[in-house]
Amino acid sequence: LFDKDYFTEDFEGKRDKIIIEILYGTGIRLSEMLDLKMTDINYSQNMIRVRGKGNKDRMIPVHNELVSSIKAYSKMRGKKLRGNDNNYLILKNDGQKAYPVFIYRVVKKYLEMITTEEKKSPHVLRHTFATHLLNKGADLNAIKDLLGHENLAATQVYTHNSLEQLKSIFKKAHPKA
């Protein structure tokens, strides 16, 4: 999705791109993304402060490309919504705070361009984030912390995909498989 020009260069395109990038690049919940404020972005340290369940804050690292996308969106946001003092990061075209169904529509619109999978939701991007980290060897406890899970059991759901990948690799690579 990020390798092609699916996103326009206007306010809407830049906003939609960071919606997808934030959900996939950080694994945060939809509700957490909706509550992100401009002041939650630490550009110098490439971190986002997220207020999770139980009002617990956690810091999530973000990659340079996402920081650049947020900066470009912020600049465009300032021009389009001049005089709007709404501090929420994700705003609709009219300058109001985004709401869950709005985000679902954005996610579905872009995922329909690249996949035939039936489920196309913000939670799919959260799940993909965790699965990709696990498949690349990330520690399960680190994933738990990034996702804001209270206990490891909630995170272990993602190990199923990894076990399937391990079986597949084993069958392809082991001479006795």
Residues designated catalytic? 29, 53, 123, 126, 149, 158
CB 126 within 8 A of CB 147: yes
Please give the Cα distance from 90 to 95 (Å, whole number): 9
Single out the residue of 107, 112, 111, 116 nearest to residue 29, CA to CA.
107
Please give the Cα distance from 166 to 50 (Å, whole number): 32
- Tokens at residue 86, please? 């709404």
Q: How many CB atoms lie within 10 A of CB 144?
A: 19
Q: How many CB atoms lie within 10 A of CB 36?
A: 22
